[in-house]
Amino acid sequence: MPEIRQNFITKEWVIFAPERSKRPEEFKTKKEKREVPSHSPICPFCPGNEHLTPPELFSIKKDGNWLVRVVPNKFPALEREGEKIRSLKGIKRSITGVGIHEVLIEAPLHNLFIPFMGEEQILTVLETYRLRYLEAWKDPKVEMVLIFKNHGEGAGTSLEHPHSQLIGLPIIPTDIRQRLWDAMRYYDENGECIYCRNLEEEIKDGERIVMETKNFVVFIPYAAYTPFHTWIFPKNHRCSFSDAKDDEMEEFARVLKDILLKFYKGLNDPDYNILLRSYPSGKGTERFFHWYVSIVLRLTKSAGFELGSGMFINTSLPEKDAEFLRSIK
Amino acid sequence: MPEIRQNFITKEWVIFAPERSKRPEEFKTKKEKREVPSHSPICPFCPGNEHLTPPELFSIKKDGNWLVRVVPNKFPALEREGEKIRSLKGIKRSITGVGIHEVLIEAPLHNLFIPFMGEEQILTVLETYRLRYLEAWKDPKVEMVLIFKNHGEGAGTSLEHPHSQLIGLPIIPTDIRQRLWDAMRYYDENGECIYCRNLEEEIKDGERIVMETKNFVVFIPYAAYTPFHTWIFPKNHRCSFSDAKDDEMEEFARVLKDILLKFYKGLNDPDYNILLRSYPSGKGTERFFHWYVSIVLRLTKSAGFELGSGMFINTSLPEKDAEFLRSIK
């Protein structure tokens, strides 16, 4: 009998259909492994081609060479300059597309993806995340800051060179507002953070845990939307990753490397999106919001049912996915 | 300057980025047109292979041959038999996966897609939709019935033979509940159906209208999620398509054929999903819900931003898309 599970945090329902289910190893992508060069002469993110990007906003350098570099997106979804103007004309409700759209180039080498980076390079990337994130929130036009990464063509990336993106939106997306509202309401009714409670029960259950370190837990949520949908939760309640302490950041760098390496080895370099869910201190979400990272693997395709219902059909069980990932060394 | 528009009905925000925008004709899919045979010996939906599907639930026949045939899905997401049992154990909230999952085979010919069907065949399909829809709602376990169609690989279909699906869910998906609630609230505050109001203003504006007939309007909504995202609205307020009168159904068949033919000609047979949004009479939604059809073309890919925000970035303008479709004869 299939089972429909509800995500405790987002309230979304997911159908788990064992009849349709594959064994975890069957999700291995079939793409041909090809050698990615360490430098590409036509890549705008490779050293020597700095003139192909808009002028640099930020960088971290060592011995005169940049390790990480931040530039405005050349084809921005939102524009930095301009006034934030709302307009309401009957059904036509709009706001000017002002905001921030930056590209964070994660390494000078064209093929140095996070799972192969040294911890120091990952820390440099995370420190860049932190600084640009705090900077973006300073803009009074910005109501929401998202940091995300697209890895692989199936995850929507057009440039291969390791990079992340930051978007600062002039509105709070409807979905995010709903989640904040739900988390606040849970806090009002239970006097505890819904994320802390979720984490506590996932640890107690154990079945869906992939890794646990001193300060972090990596798990496949009970109602994972898609096969291998993975959450990384810090144990300490903080609404923003930018408040994490130095030793936590070091641990986070290792955890991120390890889980991405498990995906690389176990599923043959799958395409994925990484989403950093975080709210800064001082925005009133301190008590009820809890930062975390969501990794969405692009192993399946959404079709009419998903579009029509907003629900997912997951053909894999979180407990099995977690067991499989634990076994990958 | 990009513009962010809000969908009046769903409240969702969409970024329109003219810098990234393509001209409508550039969205033409580049797939090779290949000859689809009218019969495939290995297709389980082709006549002669009826034994390859589970036993037939329903069919419409003419001269001893079936024109349309309904069978249970061979790999159902939900099971017909069994009890509906909710379970709450801390964060683990679930319900047994009972419900309905049917396949509606739209024609005996392997290559007779809706845009090439005669009106009579389309009417036979729509009549099948109506009867199976009403039948599904009779099941006391069912709280939501979705009819949808996946056309093309990019839209998630695995079998080429023209078919639709019907799913009867034992719960109301979170997204749908939110939309119903919003529509109800709009009705409470304004004494009118939000869909009727939306339609009225789209007609008045005219810019995004693709076609208008006596009883139907086809338009690209003001805040279309993706390029060529199209809505078909009946002018008469009814919550269910199953309440439409005979002449309206005939008109609907023609309208559906015409818009799908425009896509076929103008965009080179793109992949798409068709969603029938409908609630039956007697479920309390008569006044505030309005049935319609949503067609989502799969011309672009969602990436980290879409997953992280629940928002879309549309690289095409609804006004331009509508103009382009109007020009396709």
Q: Give dist(CA B73, CA B77) in Å, integer.
A: 8
A165, A103 contact by CB (below 8 A): yes
B151 catalytic, yes or no? no
User: What are the tokens at B65?
Assistant: 């041959």
Say what the pLDDT of residue A33 is. 67
* Angle subtended by helix axes A194-205 and A174-190, to nearest 10: 80
Band (pLDDT 50/70/90 cuts) for residue A210 is very high
A58, A131 contact by CB (below 8 A): yes
Say what the pLDDT of residue A213 is. 98
Cα distance from B64 to chain A (closest Cα, Å)?
A: 32
Label residue A260 exposed, middle or buried (CB < 10 Å: 0-12, 13-18, 19+). Answer: buried
DSSP A93-114: EEEE-BSEEEEEE--SSTT--G
The answer to whether B310 contacts A13, with C-beta atoms less than 8 Å apart, is no
Dihedrals phi, psi of B216, to nearest 5 degrees: -135, 150
Dihedrals phi, psi of B86, to nearest 5 degrees: -90, 145
Q: Give dist(CA A304, CA B293) in Å, integer.
A: 12
**pLDDT per position as a tens digit, A62-73:** 999 999 999 999
Say what the pLDDT of residue B302 is. 87
The answer to whether A77 contacts B170, with C-beta atoms less than 8 Å apart, is no
**pLDDT per position as a tens digit, A81-138:** 999 999 999 999 999 999 999 999 999 999 999 999 999 999 999 999 999 999 999 9
Say what the pLDDT of residue A30 is. 75
Q: Which residue has the higher pLDDT, B257 or A21?
A: B257
The answer to whether B148 contacts A308, with C-beta atoms less than 8 Å apart, is yes
Say what the pLDDT of residue B33 is. 67
**Those residues with Cβ within 8 angstroms of residue A189's Cβ, 6 or more apart along the chain or in another chain:** none
Sheet (strand B100-105) strand order: B58-62, B65-72, B100-105, B163-169, B144-151, B272-277, B292-297, B230-234, B216-219, B209-212
**Those residues with Cβ within 8 angstroms of residue A42's Cβ, 6 or more apart along the chain or in another chain:** A49
Active-site residue identified among B151, B163, B229, B290: B163
Average pLDDT over residues A196-215: 98
Q: Give dist(CA A201, CA B92) in Å, integer.
A: 9
- Dihedral of CA atoms A124, A130, A131, A133 in degrees, nearest 10, equals 140
**pLDDT per position as a tens digit, A243-279:** 999 999 999 999 999 999 999 999 999 999 999 999 9
Question: Among B83, B153, B302, B305, which would you mutate to test the A interface (most chain A Cβ atoms within 10 Å of its Cβ)?
Answer: B305
User: Over its length of 329 residues, how does chain B's per-residue pLDDT go in tens digits?
Assistant: 899 999 999 999 999 987 666 677 788 877 776 789 999 999 999 999 999 999 999 999 999 999 999 999 998 999 999 999 999 999 999 999 999 999 999 999 999 999 999 999 999 999 999 999 999 999 999 999 999 999 999 999 989 999 999 999 999 999 999 999 999 999 999 999 999 999 999 999 999 999 999 999 999 999 999 999 999 999 999 999 999 999 999 999 999 999 999 999 999 999 999 999 999 988 889 999 999 999 999 998 889 999 999 999 999 999 999 999 999 99
Say what the pLDDT of residue B24 is. 78
B272, B152 contact by CB (below 8 A): yes
Q: In the block, which residue shows the tokens 């995202």?
A: B229
DSSP B166-210: EEEESS--HHHHHHHHHHHHHHHHHSS-HHHHHHHHHHHH-TTEE
Handedness of CA A189, A192, A197, A200 (dihedral sign): negative
- Cα angle B277, B46, B154; round to 5: 50
Domains of chain A by range and CATH?
A: 1-19+182-328 (3.30.428.10), 31-171 (3.30.428.10)
3-state secondary structure A230-293: EEEEECCCCCCHHHCCHHHHHHHHHHHHHHHHHHHHHHCCCCEEEEEECCCCCCCCCCCCCCEE
CB < 8 Å to A5, chain B: 92-94
Number of H helices, E strands in chain B: 6, 15
Say what the pLDDT of residue A17 is. 87
DSSP B270-293: --EEEEEE---TTSS-TTT---EE
CB < 8 Å to A91, chain B: 8, 197-198, 201-202, 222
Say what the pLDDT of residue B124 is. 98
- Cα angle B50, B55, B57; round to 5: 110
A77, B20 contact by CB (below 8 A): yes
Say what the pLDDT of residue A27 is. 81
| For A157, nearest residue in chain B (alpha carbons) | B303
Say what the pLDDT of residue A10 is. 93
Q: In the block, which residue shows the tokens 């064994």?
A: A23
- Closest to B78 measured CA to CA, from A226, A224, A4: A4
Which candidate from A4, A82, A93 shows the least CB-CB separation from B1? A82
Mean pLDDT (chain A) is 95
Handedness of CA A258, A259, A264, A266 (dihedral sign): positive
Element (H, E) at A218: strand A216-219
**pLDDT per position as a tens digit, A142-182:** 999 999 999 999 999 989 999 999 999 999 999 999 999 99
Handedness of CA A176, A179, A183, A185 (dihedral sign): positive
- Dihedral of CA atoms A29, A34, A35, A39 in degrees, nearest 10, equals -90
The answer to whether B275 contacts A96, with C-beta atoms less than 8 Å apart, is no
- Closest to B14 measured CA to CA, from B220, B295, B162, B286: B220
CB < 8 Å to A95, chain B: 3-4, 6
| pLDDT for A300 beyond 90 | no
By percentage, how much of chain A surpasses pLDDT 70? 98
Q: Give dist(CA B240, CA B280) in Å, integer.
A: 5
Element (H, E) at A126: helix A119-138
Query: Other CB atoms closer than 10 Å to residue A134's CB: what's the count?
Result: 13
- Cα angle B248, B251, B254; round to 5: 155
User: What are the tokens at A182?
Assistant: 């739900």
User: What are the tokens at B9?
Assistant: 């009905």
- Closest to A274 measured CA to CA, from A228, A327, A212: A228
Say what the pLDDT of residue A224 is. 97
User: What are the tokens at B7?
Assistant: 């969908």
Q: Give dist(CA A274, CA A295) in Å, integer.
A: 5
ipTM score assigned to the predicted complex: 0.93
| For A315, nearest residue in chain B (alpha carbons) | B77
